[in-house]
């Protein structure tokens, strides 16, 4: 893990921050390409990127606080200003709302912009997960002995602490991994001065950020290369991306460590809602629009002089 890449005097370059910046730059680049292809003002790419940057961070932090309310009550100032604890769906929902109002103020069709933005958001999310992997910020999964499972002893969120609640409800695995004895042994300090236990060195977990990056990059490729097929059906790329995004997060959460509500994490419940929304658009919204367009065409044809 490489949470800290290097220092230049008093300035520290963090891998997570670098990848977040890269994600926004890449997203802005592809969004600009779409604006240019559709003959729209390319300057909107920078404006909407800034909206997504601010709204994304604010929404991510807000949803993180709601998801970890007890931690916020215990230390509101620390939780509010901590760079950790950013929830993607919070940022996505707030960004979508802000972009909606921005586009409506310019009297442009929201779904047209949603088609252009949604796939690049999926790509940006995948790039951002590289930052999570490099930082070892706790977005990794549950313990695993698979050949590609990884250890995160130098991550910013040590397995000794992130897995403690998991082991409380899985006592058999706790014994199998010798958690209690190994977590008590200190073997060193990381680059940020954090304690590294023997357990942090030994335990291997699902590298969930790697899974997400691979999924998102592949999904983006297929959506992006086929997007022109749906130019005549505004909103379809958006709905397809919603379904893909929802399925990805719904599945990955089964191997991640998050609080559960009625058996599922908050991200999974939101994923289900997003999948249903995208499915409803494909099954009912677009067919109804097509029927209305056909009726309008027939009406115009009947009034045309014979």
Distance CA 213, CA 124 (A): 9
Mean pLDDT confidence for 105-132: 92
The pLDDT, as a whole number, for residue 90 is 78
Judgement on whether residues 131 and 213 belong to the same structural domain of the protein: yes
Judgement on whether residues 95 and 13 belong to the same structural domain of the protein: yes
The pLDDT, as a whole number, for residue 213 is 97
Judgement on whether residues 109 and 126 belong to the same structural domain of the protein: yes
Segments forming the whole domain that contains residue 186: 142-205
The encoded tokens of residue 207 equal 């590298």
Q: pLDDT grade, residue 43 (50/70/90)?
A: confident
Could you give the dihedral angle defined by the CA atoms of residues 163, 167, 169 and 174, in that order, rounded to the nearest 10 degrees? 160
Q: Is the pLDDT of residue 182 over 70?
A: yes
Q: Kindly report the pTM of this predicted structure.
A: 0.86
pLDDT by residue (tens digit) across 245-274? 999 999 999 999 888 889 998 889 999 999
The closest of 269, 45, 26 to 131, measured between CA atoms, is 26
Q: Is the pLDDT of residue 106 over 60?
A: yes
Taking phi over 0 as left and psi of -120 to 50 as alpha, with beta for the rest, 86 belongs to beta
Question: How many independent structural domains does the chain possess?
Answer: 2
Strand partners, 196: 188
Determine, yes or no, domain membership for 275: yes
Average pLDDT, the chain: 86
Determine, yes or no, domain membership for 293: no
pLDDT by residue (tens digit) across 285-294? 777 765 555 5
Determine, yes or no, domain membership for 43: yes
Judgement on whether residues 198 and 210 belong to the same structural domain of the protein: no
pLDDT by residue (tens digit) across 3-41? 777 777 777 777 888 898 899 899 999 999 999 999 998
């Amino acid at each position: 893990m490489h949470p800290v890449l290097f220092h230049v005097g008093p300035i520290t370059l963090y891998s997570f921050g670098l990848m977040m910046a890269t994600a926004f730059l890449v997203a802005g680049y592809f969004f600009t390409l779409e604006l240019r292809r559709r003959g729209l003002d390319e300057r909107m790419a920078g404006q909407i990127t800034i909206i997504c940057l601010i709204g994304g961070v604010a929404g991510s932090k807000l949803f993180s606080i709601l998801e970890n309310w007890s931690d916020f009550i215990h230390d509101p100032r620390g939780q509010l200003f901590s760079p950790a604890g950013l929830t993607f769906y919070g940022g996505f929902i707030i960004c979508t709302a802000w972009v909606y109002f921005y586009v409506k103020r310019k009297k442009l069709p929201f779904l047209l912009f949603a088609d252009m933005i949604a796939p690049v958001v999926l790509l940006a999310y995948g790039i951002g997960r590289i930052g999570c992997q490099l930082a070892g910020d706790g977005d990794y999964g549950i313990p695993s002995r698979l050949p590609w499972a990884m250890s995160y002893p130098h991550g910013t969120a040590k397995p000794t602490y992130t897995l403690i609640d998991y082991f409380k409800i899985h006592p058999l695995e706790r014994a199998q991994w010798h958690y209690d004895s190994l977590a008590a042994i200190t073997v060193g300090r990381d680059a940020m001065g954090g304690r590294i236990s023997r357990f942090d060195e030994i335990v291997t977990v699902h590298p969930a950020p790697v899974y997400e990056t691979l999924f998102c990059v592949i999904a983006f490729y297929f959506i992006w290369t086929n997007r022109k097929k749906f130019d005549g059906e505004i909103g379809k790329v958006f709905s397809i991306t919603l379904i893909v995004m929802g399925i990805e997060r719904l599945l990955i959460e089964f191997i991640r460590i998050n609080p559960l509500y009625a058996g599922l994490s908050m991200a999974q419940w939101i994923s289900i809602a997003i999948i249903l929304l995208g499915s409803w658009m494909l099954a009912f919204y677009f067919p109804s629009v097509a029927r209305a367009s056909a009726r309008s065409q027939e009406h115009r044809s009947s009034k045309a002089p014979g």
